[in-house]
Amino acid sequence: MNTLTSSLKASARRAPLASARIPRASFRSSFRKYSTEAPPKSSNTALYASIGLALVGGIGYYAYSSSDAAATTVKSGAQATKSALKFTPTKVDYQKVYNRIAQKVDDAGDYDDGSFGPVLLRLAWHSAGTYDKETKTGGSNYATMRFEPESLHGANNGLNIARGIMEEIKKEFDWISYGDLWTLAGVAAIQEMGGPKIPWRPGRVDGFATDATPDGRLPDATQGQDHIRAIFYRMGFNDQEIVALSGAHALGRCHADRSGFEGPWTFSPTTVSNDYFKLLLNEKWVWRKWNGPKQLTDKKTGTLMMLPADYSLVQDKSFKKHVQAYAADEGLFFKDFSAVIAKLFELGVPESQWVTSEPWTLLSTNEEHESK
């Protein structure tokens, strides 16, 4: 795809469904220029030591299980060790992976609203959102959603699509761990859909089915504020962070054949914005009359939706305060969203595994073009 076609496609994708919105991303002009820096050598040692251990563990695991998943684990562990011996990936290498993901995000044809961005972000979030701060289990480290039964947990319905896309990228960049790949895709999805820069760094390692967490750690959309708090407090988030994270529902849609719910939250589901908060506050939401799970619809157009869990954010005083702040100030939302997504994607990764002490910011496609 040439540059013109791709930028035309990108602006078409960002076009709102029903209201006249100007693509925000095209207004960005003063981007930070990119400079290359190699990660410190010493910290990589820890990473490769873990990969080596993972490989040994993988062989042990394979000895008593002949499932495909175990075979994949062994292969990816072996591959990572082999690659690690061959070369040390630098920021430039991760930027290359980012760029490939960015192409894929846009190359969605007729899929949903013309972008794989939302479903990739959901994959990254569901891989990280299993974290439990008390037991320090779950999180983005081991990418355990590759294995059954986690891949079959109801909350993960439909994420096989996102994992399939990731598999294509993994073939090209076999040295990257799945956890790094999936979270990097979450970062790319947000940045490419006009959102804020998300600080990110590599260091996650591939784990095993035995590292997976039990079903029930992700939020249940039919429930209200008490449940939402219990789930997100367990990960270590506070009320403001919970509301900021929920702003991700500006993106994408619900699918009857995945969650049972149906429809988008906003009129521009492939653009990161504070529209979710504005709509939540300003529209009149009524229960949809249909043959499906309880969800709300906007009285005016009947085309948008809110989950009971979304709606609880304006029924709870402490949550509502933050909804109001983000509805009034998109800059504030972008700043807080960036910080909380960066925190989410790092859940469950021991400090010693990071390749760099300071997270990086990777260039979005727009910046790549401008810097050439």
Please list the active-site residues: 126, 265
Distance (Å, whole) CA 324 – CA 247? 12
Q: How many residues bind ligand HEM (CB under 6 A)?
A: 23
As measured in angstroms, the least distance from the Cβ of 281 to ligand HEM is 17
Beta-bridged to residue 305, according to DSSP, are 297
258 belongs to the binding site for ligand HEM (CB under 6 A): yes
160 belongs to the binding site for ligand HEM (CB under 6 A): no
As measured in angstroms, the least distance from the Cβ of 114 to ligand HEM is 12
Specify the 3-state DSSP secondary structure of 21: coil
184 belongs to the binding site for ligand HEM (CB under 6 A): no
* Cβ proximity to ligand HEM, 91 vs 217, nearer residue: 217
Helices (H), the chain: 3-14, 41-64, 68-86, 91-106, 117-128, 159-172, 178-192, 225-235, 239-246, 275-282, 308-311, 317-328, 330-346, 365-370
By DSSP bridging, strand 263-264 and strand 285-287 are unpaired
As measured in angstroms, the least distance from the Cβ of 292 to ligand HEM is 11
CA 227 to chain centre: 22
Specify the 3-state DSSP secondary structure of 360: strand
For ligand HEM, the binding residue among 84, 165, 185, 251 (CB under 6 A) is 251
Q: What is the DSSP secondary-structure string of 174-205?
A: TTS-HHHHHHHHHHHHHHHTT-----B-----
Q: Are 329 and 247 in contact (CB under 8 A)?
A: no
* Cβ proximity to ligand HEM, 178 vs 265, nearer residue: 265
Sole residue written with tokens 């970062």: 187
221 belongs to the binding site for ligand HEM (CB under 6 A): yes
Which among 97, 98, 63, 58 has a CA at the least distance from the CA of 80? 58
As measured in angstroms, the least distance from the Cβ of 167 to ligand HEM is 17
349 belongs to the binding site for ligand HEM (CB under 6 A): no
Q: Which residue is nearest to ligand HEM (CB)?
A: 252
Q: What angle do CA 201, 130, 292 make, to 5 degrees?
A: 120
Judged by CB under 6 A, the chain residues 114 through 153 that form the site for ligand HEM are: 118-119, 121-122, 125
For ligand HEM, the binding residue among 70, 84, 188, 245 (CB under 6 A) is 245
* Cβ proximity to ligand HEM, 84 vs 235, nearer residue: 235
307 belongs to the binding site for ligand HEM (CB under 6 A): yes
As measured in angstroms, the least distance from the Cβ of 324 to ligand HEM is 18
For ligand HEM, the binding residue among 7, 83, 240, 259 (CB under 6 A) is 259
Beta-bridged to residue 253, according to DSSP, are 264
User: Can you give the binding site for ligand HEM, defined by CB under 6 A?
Assistant: 118-119, 121-122, 125, 158, 219, 221, 228, 245-246, 248-249, 251-255, 258-259, 261, 307, 309
